[in-house]
Amino acid sequence: MPKTSARLLALLSLLQTRRDWPGTLLAERLDISLRTVRRDIDRLRELGYPIAAAKGPDGGYRLGAGTELPPLLFDDDQAVALTVALQVAATTPGNGLAEAAARALYTIRQVMSARLRNRVRDLRVTAIERPATGPAATVGGDVLLAIGAAIGAREGLRFDYGTGPPRRAEPHHLVTWDGRWYLVAWDADRADWRTFRVDRMRLRTPNGPRFAPRELPGGDVTAFVTGRFRGSTDASGDWPCRGTVVLELPAATVALYTRDGIVEPVGPARCRLTLGSWSWTSLAAAVARFDADIEVVGPPELTEAFEHLARRCMRTTAGGDG
């Protein structure tokens, strides 16, 4: 049986990987008794980790969210990825998160082991934006969180927009296009769908009343947004091939390197990306440049292109013909 400290770290690591863990499965994975699992769960609770338990023969454990952030456990790859993402956020001009990202990066480095700190010591990443065609569009993280919360709760938003009277809208999707954040919403005053630049919105409190969700025209946010910005309802735009994937990366990170696509948050560290290209293989290669796990939403041609690209890479590494 491993030492208590190592066993607690292993238990915490397992609890972070899925929503619910039956006690018997934890005992099996850690090669300990169910009684030891219960004792270790109590120790983690004493350290500040909010772990909920379900009673009964099929009972289990769940790592929940608490009022304070307890110590987190990252493996080496996660720590390196976090360092890179924070450096990008800290060096991106006008994103509203630079100062907070720099402080978070300093904190992460302080608690790294000496071995890992040496690995990332010379890793310096600087985000360089292409020359802007207009004034900088700064959006604070608190604004994005407030809009995201309203979308999740289906609550109307009240906000100032430009020099006109206050606006009322039912928020539906938060997306990025060409490096800017946009809100797709039903405009209650104009009784029509609109896209609002988030950097021009000044939110009012409290939020408006709850609303029943409406069906977006065409049923697809990508088709709607590309149609609005390109003056066409054709979701394929000017690309012969267009596909959608889900990336295990925050939307804000992917948006920094995406100019001709749609990025939509689907969670704190996941996003939905729609891109176009001149061929399916080139589209797969464009998506693969993101160092993250990829889930293809569609179409099937994109999945086939990833398979073709994987076979070509395997032949390359094997020294065979391309």
The domain spans of the chain are 4-63, 76-120, 141-214, 241-318
**Lowest mean pLDDT, pick from 42-51, 180-189, 201-210, 252-261:** 252-261
Q: 185: pLDDT confidence band, cut at 50, 70 and 90?
A: very high
CA-CA distance, 52 to 78, in Å (whole number)? 25
21, 26, 31, 33: which is closest to 61 by C-alpha?
21
Top-confidence residue, 86 or 185: 185
User: Residue 73 has what pLDDT?
Assistant: 63
Sequence-distant (≥ 6) Cβ neighbours of residue 219 within 8 angstroms: none
Tell me the mean pLDDT in the region 245-269.
82
171 pLDDT band (50/70/90 cuts)?
A: very high
Q: Is the pLDDT of residue 282 over 50?
A: yes
* Cβ neighbours of residue 103 closer than 8 Å, sequence gap 6 or more: none
Phi and psi, residue 270, nearest 5°: -140, 150
Residue 115: band (very low, low, confident or very high) from pLDDT cuts 50, 70, 90: confident
Residue-level pLDDT at 76: 72
Mean pLDDT of 256-272: 80
pLDDT at position 236 over 90:
no
The fold adopted by the segment(s) 4-63 is Arc Repressor Mutant, subunit A (1.10.10)
Q: By the 8 A CB rule, do 41 and 51 touch?
A: yes
Tell me which DSSP letter residue 210 carries.
B
Residue 272: pLDDT over 50: yes
DSSP SS3 for 249: coil
Mean pLDDT to the nearest integer, 138-144:
76
pLDDT tens-place string over residues 204-233: 988 999 999 888 887 778 777 776 765 433
141-214 carries CATH number 1.10.357: no
pLDDT in tens, 28-70: 888 888 889 888 888 888 877 788 887 765 568 887 765 445 5
**Confidence check: pLDDT of 289 > 70:** yes
Query: What is the torsional sign of CA 10, 12, 18, 21?
Result: positive
CATH class of domain segment(s) 241-318: alpha beta
CA-CA distance, 256 to 247, in Å (whole number)? 14
List the one residue out of 65, 37, 62 whose CA is nearest residue 51.
62
How would residue 169 be classed by pLDDT, with cut points 50, 70 and 90?
Answer: very high
Q: Is a pLDDT exceeding 80 seen at residue 249?
A: yes
Mean pLDDT of 88-100: 66
Rounded CA Rg of the chain: 23
Instruction: Identify the H or E element spanning 303.
Output: helix 300-318
